[in-house]
Amino acid sequence: MARSNYINPLLRRTDAGNENPASQPHLLNVQPLQPPAVAVAVHPVVPANPVGPKPVQPPIPISQPPVKFTFYFLPEQLRRLDNLWVRSKLDHRERLNKSEFVRLALDRLMERFDQDPKEVLDDLKRHRSSAAAES
């Protein structure tokens, strides 16, 4: 049987030696894995300016690797994302992944929300009602 470095996914084995650690209780010392550090960019609060447009916040620089997270998409959205990804590879010879497309779309949505939150919220309401009508 192959030896694993892990007792279970949440605990890391601290011994690197004996095949039968049960015979040596001092080798059963385990430590919980530390969760990865996540960078959160905090923007300063900008007071409301009644005259003129709101200043647009700069995009958040990526200083650490992306964090995996789950979102739910409609099958048609995923089909279109797949087509976009394939077209970028075949037609434009770009080596991008689908996550990069989604991150760009999310950044653009957040910029648009900063500029005109009512417009974005109205779009979301329309999108929600059209999706409910289709199902």
Starting from the edge strand earliest in sequence, which strands make up the sheet with 11-13, in order?
6-8, 11-13, 30-32
pLDDT of residue 132: 80
Count CB-CB contacts under 10 A for residue 57.
13
Quickly state the pLDDT bin for 64 (edges 50, 70, 90): confident
The per-residue pLDDT for 16 is 47
Higher pLDDT, 55 or 119: 119
Contact 12/33 with Cβ under 8 angstroms? yes
Decide if pLDDT at 87 tops 70: yes
- Both tokens of 68, joined, read 């995996």
pLDDT at 122 exceeding the cut of 90: yes
Q: How confident is the model at residue 5 (pLDDT cuts 50, 70, 90)?
A: low
Top pLDDT among 61 and 133 is at: 133
Among 29-38, 71-80, 85-94, 103-112, which is the least confidently predicted range?
Answer: 29-38
Give residue 28's pLDDT: 47
What pTM value is reported for the model? 0.51
DSSP 3-state assignment of 72? coil
